[in-house]
Amino acid sequence: MQIEVRTEELDRLAEKMKKKLGDLTPVMRDSANVMHSSVQRNFDEGGRPDKWPDLAESTKRYKTKYKGTPYPMLVFSVNVSSSRGGRGYRTKKLRQSIHPQWGKDYAKVATNVDYAVYHQEGYGVPKRAFMVWQTQDIRNIEDLFGRYLK
């Protein structure tokens, strides 16, 4: 799955730097890591800025029957508080599959999990978009580029 999130300001700044400097690998690496941290935080908080919908009652019954709890994530992770219920994901497979990638002229986070697009876009399941950048993430990346230009 590939989801591209672009902002015109970042694109213009990146293009300017690319022409001026050529190889942007260091700032692209740092940018990819900011994006990766943001996606991981989206999982930690069960969606940002809006919380993901809770699991369907039928899903909770299934998980209770076969996993012993409607939120088996709690059994394996201390990153999710019990008050959150680990909602929005059944295993760590999707979350753990997300990795930052970068090169001399790109930065991204990616997953090779085939069902990721269903959660991201809400195809046949409640939408639980995890590749969402917050305003502060964009500002942090802009700051990285600004410092790199100096």
pTM: 0.70
The pLDDT of residue 87 is above 50: no
- Strand 106-110, strand 99-103: pairing: antiparallel
For 21-54, how does the pLDDT look when each residue is reduced to its tens digit (9 = 90+)?
Answer: 778 899 999 999 999 999 999 988 888 988 888 8
Q: How far is CA 4 from the centre of its chain?
A: 12
Q: What are phi and psi of 103, to 5 degrees?
A: -155, -165
For 108-147, how does the pLDDT look when each residue is reduced to its tens digit (9 = 90+)?
Answer: 999 998 888 988 998 888 888 999 989 999 999 999 988 9
- How far CA 55 is from CA of 10, 15, 21, 22, 47, in Å, comes to 36, 42, 48, 47, 13
